[in-house]
């Protein structure tokens, strides 16, 4: 539930910020007449996201076990790809998000109300589709249909409250720092989903090595224990991990985490000023 709360909070905050920025810009520029078109696009995005979530949940029912595992494993890997792209994209553009959205909204206003609807649909719908896919993958990995949804709903509710407080000027949030630290955590969450997706493909017979275990710590970390449940819910950790799952987890975490840390924190640190040479120091003192 913790991981899904974080996903709901992060994605919900991003979507809520997008909406609040667009609404504030229309109000500021005296184009309140376009607010209904904006809200129509937002409502359509929510509807499409819910329909996509329902399709993921109920679509594979009735298929064979191998087919369900193949679909689940493939979509889990797609979800990891989307969440990885989202982590890097938001860490890079958080500082310029407002200006980018206002520029796109200016172009949509010039094109007419229909373009405003489409712009809002695409801006919010992307977040909704990503959230639906990743939550579905998380729910499948935890074998629970309610806990991930509850966690995500709480996260989205918290995001709406935070975005409203920011819109009213009651709180200030450093978006770059927020998305940097949540992105760091989500790298490990995504790695767990990738590992589970690989296991699904192994059970479907698409990938080999289902019975070739890298380790089995079921006696130390029982799946039914509170800490086993916590590790499963947050990082999708399984006490019985195959070698291919471990390889996939390491192959994802090491490069993604390294690149993320370098691009997120490496570019923000200003280079240290060179130490003054003895001649420079003497000149400063004499002057």
pLDDT confidence bin for 143, thresholds 50/70/90: low
CB neighbour list of residue 96: distance below 8 Å, 6 or more residues apart: none
Using CB atoms within 10 Å of the CB of residue 213, give its burial: 0 to 12 exposed, 13 to 18 middle, 19+ buried: middle
Q: Chain-wide mean pLDDT for the chain? A: 81
Tell me the pTM: 0.73
- What pLDDT sits at residue 275? 46
∠ CA 131-169-23, rounded to 5°: 55
Which of 152-156, 202-206, 215-219 has the highest mean predicted lDDT (pLDDT)?
Answer: 202-206
Taking alpha carbons only, the member of 60, 61, 80 closest to residue 198 is 80
Q: Token pair 């679509």 is at which residue?
A: 59
Token pair listed for 186: 């989500």
- What pLDDT sits at residue 17? 81
Strand partners, 241: 215
Task: Please say if the pLDDT value at position 201 is more than 90.
Answer: yes
Question: How far is Cα 121 from Cα 44, in angstroms, rounded to an integer?
Answer: 6
Q: 32, 264 in Cβ contact below 8 A? A: no
pLDDT confidence bin for 211, thresholds 50/70/90: confident
């Amino acid at each position: 539930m913790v991981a899904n709360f974080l996903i709901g909070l992060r994605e919900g905050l991003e979507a809520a910020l997008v909406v609040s920025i667009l609404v504030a810009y229309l109000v500021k520029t005296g184009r309140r007449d376009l607010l209904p078109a904006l809200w129509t696009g937002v409502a359509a995005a929510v509807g499409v996201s819910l329909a996509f979530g329902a399709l993921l949940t109920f679509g594979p029912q009735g298929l064979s076990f191998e087919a369900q595992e193949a679909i689940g494993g493939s979509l889990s890997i797609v979800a990891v790809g989307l969440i990885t792209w989202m982590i890097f994209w938001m860490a890079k553009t958080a500082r310029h998000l407002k200006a980018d959205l206002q520029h796109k909204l200016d172009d949509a206003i010039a094109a007419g109300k229909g373009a405003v609807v489409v712009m809002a649909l695409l801006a919010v719908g992307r977040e909704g589709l990503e959230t639906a896919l990743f939550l579905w993958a998380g729910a499948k990995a935890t074998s629970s249909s309610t806990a991930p949804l509850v966690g995500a709903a709480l996260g989205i509710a918290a995001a709406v409250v935070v975005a409203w407080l920011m819109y009213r000027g009651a709180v200030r949030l450093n978006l770059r720092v927020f998305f940097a630290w949540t992105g760091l955590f989500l790298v490990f969450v995504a790695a767990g989903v990738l590992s589970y997706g690989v296991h699904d493909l192994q059970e479907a017979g698409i990938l080999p090595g289902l019975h070739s275990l890298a380790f089995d710590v079921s006696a130390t970390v029982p799946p039914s224990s509170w800490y086993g449940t916590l590790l499963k819910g947050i990082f999708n950790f399984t006490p019985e991990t195959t070698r291919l799952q471990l390889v996939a987890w390491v192959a994802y975490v090491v490069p993604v985490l390294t690149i993320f840390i370098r691009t997120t924190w490496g570019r923000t640190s200003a280079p240290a000023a060179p130490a003054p040479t003895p001649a420079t120091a003497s000149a400063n003192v004499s002057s």
